[in-house]
Amino acid sequence: MGMYSVKVPNVDPVLAADANILRDKFIGLGTATSSPTTNEVEYRSDLRMHRFYSGSEFSGVGNQWYLMNAGGVDNFTRSDSAAIPGKLQSGQSWVPKAGTWGISSNKGYSVTDASDDMMWFDSYITDPTAELTMSGTIASSSNYRHMALIFRGLDTSNFLMVQLFNGTVQLLKKDAGSFTSLSSVAQTTTDGTAYTLTASNSNTTIIVYVNGTSKITYGLATGEFKYLEYTRVGINLRKAGSPGTVARATAFKVRQAVA
């Protein structure tokens, strides 16, 4: 039997016919149903439920199918709001965990503008590659306002994070509420310039990119393997002093890492 693939279209809503395709492919493993209000397809088995959002892609042979690319995409192109960040274009809802988040001129931002304001969502994938395009006040060590990329998150006290400011890109962990720098390298930082931060992993190695260029390769210590079990991704506002440039997010993506 040949190799096949099926993709949930990037449309809103996911149609019942597309859910039926998945149901037919998961022979003997469960059923798939569409959910027009949340733009997702659910695959249910005896053991667990998986949510497959628009843009998700599967590949397999016979009844052995694998999730190749779980989609999560947001370009923040929606009406201005100073109360809620709304939903990603792929259907998931942003969940503010600290502060109030909103939309301004098709960009995501923290309305309350306080350090450690945070919003995220659960990617529901075990090996996420997360990507954030952001701009802000990032050239100074004492006056800054920028958005950091959260990935491998469990809760507000435990996650990995990438931030770019003061001439460095930095990989940090937050463990039981305390930040520790894991690795940092030099990187040009210019206020108001958009940068794309990407975090992924290969087995127990975390890889950080800036604008598509690999900057950090960090091997997790044994005590840090727990982060590989966490699947939440999102944005953390970092702020100090009297920054002059606003912090804005212009794009966010998450997908299944491809080995």
- DSSP 8-state class, residue 226: G
pLDDT confidence band for 258 (50 / 70 / 90):
low
More confident residue, 163 or 43: 163
- Angle 117-208-52 (CA atoms, 0-180°, nearest 5)? 70
Q: Is the per-residue pLDDT at 259 higher than 70?
A: no
Average of pLDDT values for 149-156?
A: 95
Give residue 255's pLDDT. Answer: 81
Q: Rounded distance, CA 70 to CA 125, Å?
A: 7
pLDDT confidence band for 169 (50 / 70 / 90):
very high
* CA-wise closest residue to 254 among 117, 80, 67: 67
The CB-based long-range contact list for 240-243 (8 Å cut-off, 24+ gap) reads 240/115, 240/142, 240/143, 240/144, 241/140, 241/142, 241/143, 241/144, 242/143, 243/136, 243/137, 243/140, 243/143, 243/144, 243/145
Positive or negative, the CA dihedral 95, 97, 102, 108 is: negative
Q: Is the per-residue pLDDT at 11 higher than 70?
A: no
- pLDDT tens-digit map of 71-105: 578 999 999 999 999 988 777 889 999 999 999 99
Q: Is the per-residue pLDDT at 192 higher than 50?
A: yes
SS3 224: helix
- pLDDT tens-digit map of 114-134: 999 999 998 877 778 899 999
- DSSP 8-state class, residue 93: B
Q: Cβ atoms within 10 A of the Cβ of 27, count?
A: 11
Give residue 71's pLDDT. Answer: 59
Average of pLDDT values for 38-42?
A: 38
Positive or negative, the CA dihedral 107, 124, 33, 253 is: positive
Give residue 146's pLDDT. Answer: 98
Give residue 111's pLDDT. Answer: 98
Question: Percent of the chain at pLDDT above 70?
Answer: 71
Q: Rounded distance, CA 100 to CA 255, Å?
A: 26
Q: Rounded distance, CA 200 to CA 223, Å?
A: 19
* CA-wise closest residue to 35 among 57, 58, 21, 18: 18
Q: What are phi and psi of 150, to 5 degrees?
A: -95, 135
Average pLDDT, the chain: 79
Question: Any idea which fold 72-256 has?
Answer: Jelly Rolls (2.60.120)
Alpha helices in the chain (DSSP H): 16-25
- pLDDT tens-digit map of 215-254: 999 999 999 999 999 989 999 999 999 999 999 999 999 8
Q: Is the per-residue pLDDT at 197 higher than 70?
A: yes
Environment class of residue 180 by beta-carbon count within 10 Å: exposed (0-12), middle (13-18) or buried (19+)? Answer: exposed
Q: Is the per-residue pLDDT at 170 higher than 90?
A: yes
Give residue 62's pLDDT. Answer: 41
Domain with CATH 2.60.120.560 in the chain: 72-256
E strand intervals along 27-117: 31-35, 40-44, 49-53, 57-61, 64-69, 72-74, 95-98, 101-103, 108-110
- What pTM was estimated for this model as a whole? 0.76
